[in-house]
Amino acid sequence: MTGSDVVAAPPTEHDGLTGVQAPLSYAQQLLAAFAVHEGGSVFGPNFVNWCAHRLTGPVDVDVLRQALDDMVRRQGALRTVVVREQGFPFQRVRPPAPVPLTVLDRHGTAPDDRDAEVARITARALADGQPSDRVPLLAAYLARFGDASALVLVIHRTAADGWTMQVAIRDVMAGYERRLRGEPPDRTPLPQYVECALADGSAEREKQIRSALPYWQRTLGDLPAVGVPADRPRPVDGTGGVRALHTFELSDRTVQEVRRAARTARTSFFTMLLTAYALSLTGRTGGSEIAIPVLGAGRSRQQWDTVGFFVNGHVLRLGVPAEQTLATVLARVHRAGIAAQTNDVPLIRVLEALPNVAASAFDSSTVVPTPIQLCQPIPDFADDRATVRYQRMKLPPEVVAEQPVMPVDFLWVMEPYTSFVVRVMYNPRMFDEASVVRLADDFQRALWLLVTAPQISVRSARAAMEVAR
């Protein structure tokens, strides 16, 4: 990257994690499994996660560097590499190393052009990549505009899901303020990712999995397909890593009404969203049921502050009979969600136990899984004495290429951060933009019918959605 100054801190002391080894976590195994049809590896340098935040207030580069290095020392996942010996991949924690901090002087950039400039910086950072075998698995880029700055963090995805990126920016800015005040770094103990991976293989966890697997075998054992037909078959030369993006927002009024309707129906906000999604998908398939992979944070309460890739999912088989009311379908989706949580099993283990589901998810070239994910915003770092404030940036999607959390051909992500944004990432070689736009429109119509007319039948709802097109 031209015009930059890479600032690095000297190596520092580290804790007793160094040298600890563990198998891949179940979440990492799932990540690797979904990468097979890409023709590449999730352990390559360009499979990364990133975030960009606007910083308001004077930024001391040396203090920021110290805060970044503090996080690497505290969060073992940022210094954990995936290695292979005798063909088997596993994780090994290495000593901390300084975070590469690239500082870019952009004082001459007009205020209206700053977001586009940060997008260009981010795009170049993503093109440079982040090797998964080099510690730390984190790189930082600081663009300085004079009266403001922007900080971009890039972390290899084997160590970072969407939740992680929120933890990372929060911890860096909190650490920055501590360092600025001359306070010691936060050394509060927290669960380390390598420890969580070891717990995945514990006898207790295995017993839990084996007791819950029969539920999934009964529920999904005869499942014919997962997802919806694509507009075109998956290309035989692989699908490529870049995805197209369609975004839309739910208005504040819609979100409020959906929450109110969820309370009335004694269900969750997400169940309302999932039911509308199932209605829109079956409108495309014309069937009376749909199987939807539902992606979740995969974290226990104790792991909320831990950096790492924890994403897990459940394949929910949802009945949407035409003669039943929307309220009845909502109740069915509610029960399916509770049963999935009660019988929680890592998705990779379900796929291993059910070859029919795995084949549908990985091998079908015409029917595409349509996973859905509701991101969970975590509290920002709040300090009345803070000298620097940070705010999440929305960068132009035409500049920054989209990468889904999993290397899949279709992903529906809902992000209730500053507003409720739905991001639909899809493979443009398999789906037409018009098809995705129609699905998004149908989702919004179905959601509003769930709120305003829950006693009408699915058949009537589909007819109303057709008229509205």
Contact 163, 310 (CB under 8 A): yes
Residue 418 to residue 83: CA distance in whole angstroms:
39
Domains identified in the chain and CATH numbers? 4-195 (3.30.559.10), 209-371+406-468 (3.30.559.30)
Cβ neighbours of residue 375 closer than 8 Å, sequence gap 6 or more: 162, 163, 413, 414, 415, 416, 417
pLDDT tens for each residue of 26-55: 999 998 887 766 655 678 888 899 999 999
pLDDT tens for each residue of 429-458: 999 999 999 999 999 999 999 999 999 999
Residue 40 to residue 24: CA distance in whole angstroms:
18
Q: Which amino acid is at 156?
A: H
Mean pLDDT of 449-468: 94
Band of pLDDT at residue 12, cut at 50, 70 and 90: very low
pLDDT of residue 223: 93
- In 146-273, DSSP assigns E strands to 149-156, 228-229, 244-250
Please, is 14 exposed, middle or buried when counting C-beta atoms within 10 Å of its C-beta (0-12, 13-18, 19+)? middle
The DSSP symbol for 465 reads: H
Residue 25 to residue 380: CA distance in whole angstroms:
28
Residue 208 to residue 185: CA distance in whole angstroms:
38
Report the sign of the C-alpha dihedral through residues 173, 174, 179, 181, in that order: positive
Q: Which residue has 């493979």 as its token pair?
A: 427
Q: Is the pTM of this model over 0.85?
A: yes
- The CA distances from residue 373 to 12, 112, 270, 273, 293, in Å, are 38, 32, 9, 10, 9
For β-strands 367-368 and 228-229, DSSP reports them as: antiparallel
Mean pLDDT of 292-303: 94
pLDDT of residue 88: 79
pLDDT over threshold 70, residue 94: yes
Mean pLDDT of 175-186: 95
pLDDT over threshold 80, residue 4: no
Cβ neighbours of residue 60 closer than 8 Å, sequence gap 6 or more: 180
pLDDT of residue 87: 72
* Mean per-residue pLDDT over the chain, rounded: 90
Q: Which two tokens stand for residue 437?
A: 């736009």
Residue 225 to residue 358: CA distance in whole angstroms:
10
Cβ neighbours of residue 458 closer than 8 Å, sequence gap 6 or more: 279, 282, 320, 321, 322, 323, 324, 325, 326, 329
pLDDT tens for each residue of 320-353: 999 999 999 999 999 999 999 999 999 999 999 9
